[in-house]
Amino acid sequence: MSRRKLIAGNWKMNGSLAANQALVQDLLAGIGQPACDVAVCPPGAYLGQVQALLAGSQAIALGAQNVSQHENGAFTGDISATMLQDFGVRYVIVGHSERRQHQAETDVHVAIKVKRALSAGITPIVCVGETLREHDEGMTEFIVRRQLSAVIHLNGDDVGRIVVAYEPVWAIGTGKTATPAQAQAVHAVLRAQLKAATSQADDMRILYGGSMNAGNAAELLAQPDIDGGLIGGAALKAADFLKIVAAAR
């Protein structure tokens, strides 16, 4: 089964008008015609700027880092899926471990956000992953299946339209990375869970999101169930990000 890979850059809370312009210009200058799908996810404050910088480019899609679970109303600070739609957003990261940890997002919140994104025609990149303690206690499979189960339950047949990202929390921003075999084993578990839920599972993309970089991308992306990467730190350096994109074939 040949799935077109996806490399998505999560800029997290980084950037400025000047830095964003330089980064996007460098990406556009070096990306050519990639063999994979590519997206960048800037902070919400910069969606308009990055949309304008990407205007006319077929090589890089615009993504967002979060979406509200509400459609509109008195939710100060939230950004709705229809607002993201106004900016031409194609992808949105949902349930990132940092939001689960710092903003107390639950599996239910994540499932509802997925539903909101899908209703606006935006592809959610749904993050699942275990902490170091959960990893050490042998609970990885239980945790990721529980997190994905809520999304499947609420979204039914529409779950075939999502992208899943496995991000072991212990490997985010730490420099630690799951070995290709470790990552593949969890991706296979997620694929099996999706197969039980939808006939589209073989076509769905499961990304790896734990400190993928220019040095380890090719080996990780060679695994049969790793269909791309959700890139953190390396996404802020054009040369590194472009090397990862080049490795995704």
Active site residues: 96, 167
d(CA 207, CA 143): 17
